[in-house]
């Protein structure tokens, strides 16, 4: 860019293999960092280049206990934030600092305060990124910015990123379950049970109830007669929803649970030598393997690339 004949110098910002040091690969993690806003160090700060505003949650704003700063009214509503329309609490301008020691940069940034459930404290959007003249690279889990003729950087926090993702997924699943719990039963509608209403019954306070041929379920002993009768009738009417053997569990949808092994590229397969555990333990292993084969959970292969021996753990009962 040229302004009145003067050329503005730009600091070159680049990413290379050395920036991957300390990053857990492979990954699809979002970029979460720690920043300093006003006089507080804030964790769980989400870098979102798709956001047209900088957002701070009301909970974080209250905990910061800012003195001398005042919220300005905001009349425009947000759409798309956590999936619905949100009306902001207000807008405030605060100093935002990236980096540490001599390689840090501070800019006055406008934040919109939002009272909405969220797994992160602050969203840094395009306005702050442009003010900081910062560049992000999620693969390298870094954000870099110019500090004079030099380049400052902040490393992303992958554990926080994954924790926030899990919390967001759980919140979305809870919302879906609440919406689905509108189906009616004969005696009325299902209702959401508060956490304080749930309690666990010790094994000694339970009794076995037969709800079908060879099919037994434990229920509490101290139930009233009417509740006990209603419960047993409900269990018998819905006996088909229970699995009484491993063979009846045909599989779990990947939408519910999925396991992925993050193996370093170039790692060599590990093949352990087969161990013998003794007649008693070998018998237990063989029985369990037969059950898993019969249920279709595992299958036999002739040439194993990876091989690990079975691990047996004793139960408190001695089994």
Q: What is the per-residue pLDDT across 234-274, written as a single tens digit (0 to 9) for each?
A: 888 888 888 877 777 766 777 777 888 787 888 888 888 88
- Given a contact cutoff of 8 angstroms between Cβ atoms, the answer to whether 231 and 217 are in contact is no
Per-residue pLDDT, 176: 60
Rg (CA), the chain: 29
Per-residue pLDDT, 247: 72
User: How many distinct structural domains can be found in the chain?
Assistant: 3
129 and 232 belong to one structural domain: no
At 137, phi and psi to the nearest 5?
-145, 100
Q: Where residue 182 falls among pLDDT bands split at 50, 70, 90?
A: very low
CATH number for position 21: 2.40.70.10
Bridge partner residues of 45 (DSSP): 33, 122
- Given a contact cutoff of 8 angstroms between Cβ atoms, the answer to whether 25 and 265 are in contact is yes
Mean pLDDT is highest, among 99-108, 134-143, 257-266, 299-308, for 134-143
| Average predicted confidence (pLDDT) for the chain | 81
Token code pair at residue 270: 């590990």
d(CA 93, CA 108): 6
- List, in sequence order, the alpha helices (H) in the chain: 58-64, 126-132, 158-180, 225-237, 279-295
- Asked if the model's pLDDT at residue 178 lies above 70, the reply is no
220 and 120 belong to one structural domain: no
Residue 230 is assigned to a structural domain of this protein = yes
Average pLDDT over residues 194-209: 67
27 and 160 belong to one structural domain: yes
Residue numbers of the domain that contains 310: 270-314
Residue 233 is assigned to a structural domain of this protein = yes
State the Cα angle at 122 between 12 and 62, rounded to 5°: 140
32 and 159 belong to one structural domain: yes
CB-based contacts of 246, cutoff 8 Å, min separation 6? 291, 292, 294, 295, 297
From 119, 149, 167, give the residue that closes a domain.
167
Per-residue pLDDT, 224: 84
Residue 260 is assigned to a structural domain of this protein = no
**Better pLDDT: 282 or 77:** 282
Residue 6 is assigned to a structural domain of this protein = no
Residue 293 is assigned to a structural domain of this protein = yes
96 and 29 belong to one structural domain: yes
- Given a contact cutoff of 8 angstroms between Cβ atoms, the answer to whether 157 and 33 are in contact is yes
- Asked if the model's pLDDT at residue 143 lies above 90, the reply is yes
Which residue in 246, 223, 243 sits closest to 233, CA to CA? Answer: 223
Mean pLDDT lowest among 66-75, 179-188, 253-262: 179-188
- Given a contact cutoff of 8 angstroms between Cβ atoms, the answer to whether 19 and 143 are in contact is no
At 113, phi and psi to the nearest 5?
-90, 125
277 and 227 belong to one structural domain: no
Average pLDDT over residues 22-51: 89
Work out the number of other CB atoms within 10 angstroms of the CB of residue 271: 11
35 and 118 belong to one structural domain: yes
At 196, phi and psi to the nearest 5?
-70, -20
Average pLDDT over residues 27-48: 90
39 and 74 belong to one structural domain: yes
């Amino acid at each position: 860019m040229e302004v009145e004949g003067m050329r503005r110098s730009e600091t070159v910002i680049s990413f290379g293999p050395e920036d991957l040091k300390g990053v857990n690969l492979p990954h699809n993690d979002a970029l979460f960092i720690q920043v300093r806003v006003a006089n507080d160090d804030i964790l769980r700060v989400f870098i979102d280049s798709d956001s047209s505003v900088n957002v701070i949650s009301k909970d974080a704003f209250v905990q910061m206990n800012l003195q001398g700063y005042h919220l300005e009214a905001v009349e425009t509503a947000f759409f798309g934030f956590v999936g619905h329309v949100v009306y902001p609490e207000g807008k405030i301008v605060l100093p935002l600092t990236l980096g540490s020691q001599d390689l840090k940069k501070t800019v006055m940034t406008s934040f919109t305060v939002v009272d909405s459930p969220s797994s992160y404290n602050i969203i840094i959007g395009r306005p702050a990124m442009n003010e900081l003249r910062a560049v992000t690279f999620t693969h390298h889990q870094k954000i870099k910015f110019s500090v004079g003729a030099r380049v400052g950087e902040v490393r992303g926090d992958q554990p926080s990123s994954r924790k926030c993702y899990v919390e967001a997924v759980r919140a979305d699943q809870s919302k879906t379950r609440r919406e689905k719990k509108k189906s009616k039963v004969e005696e009325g509608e299902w209702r959401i049970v508060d956490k304080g209403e749930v309690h666990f019954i010790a094994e000694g306070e339970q009794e076995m109830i037969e709800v079908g041929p060879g099919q037994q379920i434990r229920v509490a002993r101290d139930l009233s007669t009417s509740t006990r009768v209603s419960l047993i009738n409900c269990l018998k009417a819905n006996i088909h929803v229970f699995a009484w053997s491993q063979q009846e569990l045909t599989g779990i949808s990947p939408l519910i649970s999925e396991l992925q092994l993050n193996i370093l590229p170039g790692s060599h397969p590990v093949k352990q030598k087969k161990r013998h555990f003794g007649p008693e333990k070998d018998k237990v292993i063989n029985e369990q393997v037969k059950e898993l084969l019969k249920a279709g959970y595992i299958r036999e292969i002739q040439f194993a690339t990876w091989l690990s021996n079975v691990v047996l753990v004793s139960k408190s009962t001695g089994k």
